[in-house]
């Protein structure tokens, strides 16, 4: 029996990258996992996860012995989000953990950013987390239990030039974390946020392509500012999942409204 046995977790942006790793580690700890991803590309952005990748996440979860339900859904659409909750309750009867991980980023000068790009970044990173949190909250309130983890970014703590839309979106979700923590605490719901530094996933490969750089070079440049050096400065998906596993565990039951930087000290000013 794992520490998460009997719990049900919904993770958005679960097709690949950090979200897929969160799903597999939650399943390995015994949780039933609902893996959600849009599985469709968005115009002007790097390739997002495919349906095959989402199925693979679910298969890897099941290989741990836990159950997993992959759902193709766009977190921007409240109707699709409502269906995610319905399918979760129908299959598992409850929802204990929500990880708002789906995200989208792009590099744009403020005087050049298009309406479409601005809408996509704000809608996926902010509205998506609002839609999902609004959907799961009634079930969590009824249970008097819940763990909501929002994935922001170091860019929320130390906003970056040419990433103002992304920095603002992640800052919004860090602020919403604190508001939801105060509001939902009386129902035993913890709400926390992780602010990752740079992790080499499809997002960074996509941003590197925009800059005409090799992914490893962009990764090293984005990582500058870490207090660690060399290989030690490289943040892995497991570093982020380690923080998630702590925040969904009973060890963090008195921690709520916290924005936890997992960034090698980059934003520690």
Ligand X SMILES: NC(=O)c1ccc[n+]([C@@H]2O[C@H](COP(=O)([O-])OP(=O)(O)OC[C@H]3O[C@@H](n4cnc5c(N)ncnc54)[C@H](O)[C@@H]3O)[C@@H](O)[C@H]2O)c1
Give the residues lining the site for ligand X (CB under 6 A): 12-13, 15-19, 37-38, 48-49, 74-76, 101-105, 124, 128, 151, 153, 196, 198-199, 201-204
Question: Could you give phi then psi for residue 46, rounded to 5 degrees?
Answer: -65, 165
Nearest approach in angstroms of CB 197 to ligand X is 6
Establish whether 166 is a catalytic residue: yes
Minimum distance from CB of 1 to ligand X (Å)?
Answer: 29
Q: Which is nearer to ligand X, 97 or 124 (CB)?
A: 124
Of the candidates 238, 241, 235, which has an alpha carbon nearest to the alpha carbon of residue 222? 235
Residues 6+ apart with CB under 8 A from 106: 44, 45, 117, 121, 165, 166, 206, 207, 210
Cβ pair 151, 193 in contact under 8 A = yes
Q: Nearest Cα to 134, choosing from 67, 166, 91, 179?
A: 179
Measured from the CB of residue 63, what is the shortest distance to ligand X in angstroms? Answer: 20
Dihedral of CA atoms 127, 133, 134, 136 in degrees, nearest 10, equals 150
Of the two residues 144 and 228, which places its CB atom closer to ligand X in the complex? Answer: 228
Residue 198: CB minimum distance to ligand X, A: 4
Q: How far is the CB of 194 from ligand X (least distance, A)?
A: 8
In whole angstroms, give the CA distance from residue 194 to residue 248. 12
| Active-site position among 46, 145, 162, 166 | 166
Euclidean distance between CA atoms 169 and 151, whole angstroms: 11
The structure tokens listed for 120 are 């996509």
Q: Give DSSP secondary structure letters for 137-182.
A: HHHHHHHT-EEEEEE--HHHHS--TT-HHHHHHHHHHHHHHHHHHH
3-state helix, strand, coil in the chain (%, to 5): 50, 15, 35
Residue with tokens 């892995």: 236
CB closer to ligand X, 31 vs 151? 151
Q: Which residues are catalytic?
A: 166
């Amino acid at each position: 029996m794992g520490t998460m046995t009997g719990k049900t977790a919904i993770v958005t942006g679960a097709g690949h990258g950090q979200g897929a790793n969160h799903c597999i580690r939650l399943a390995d700890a015994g949780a039933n996992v609902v893996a959600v991803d849009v599985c469709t590309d968005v115009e002007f952005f790097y390739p997002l996860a495919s349906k095959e990748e989402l199925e693979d996440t679910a298969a890897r979860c099941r290989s741990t012995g836990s159950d997993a339900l992959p759902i193709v859904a766009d977190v921007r659409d409240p109707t699709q989000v409502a269906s995610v909750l319905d399918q979760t309750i129908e299959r598992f009867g409850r929802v204990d953990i929500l990880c708002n991980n789906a995200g989208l980023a792009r590099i744009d000068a403020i005087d050049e950013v298009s309406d479409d790009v601005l809408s996509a970044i704000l809608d996926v990173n902010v509205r998506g987390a609002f839609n999902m949190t609004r959907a799961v909250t009634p079930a969590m309130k009824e249970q008097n239990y819940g763990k909501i983890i929002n994935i922001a970014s170091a860019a929320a703590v130390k906003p970056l030039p040419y990433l103002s839309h992304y920095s603002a979106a992640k800052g919004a979700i860090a602020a919403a974390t604190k508001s939801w923590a105060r509001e939902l605490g009386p129902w035993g719901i913890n709400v926390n946020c992780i602010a990752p530094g740079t992790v080499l996933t499809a997002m960074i490969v996509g941003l590197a392509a925009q800059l005409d750089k090799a992914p490893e070079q962009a990764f090293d440049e984005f990582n500058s500012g870490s207090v660690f050096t060399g290989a030690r400065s490289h943040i892995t998906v497991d570093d982020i999942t380690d923080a998630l596993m702590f925040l969904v565990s009973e060890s963090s039951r008195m921690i709520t409204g916290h924005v936890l930087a997992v960034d090698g000290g980059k934003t520690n000013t």
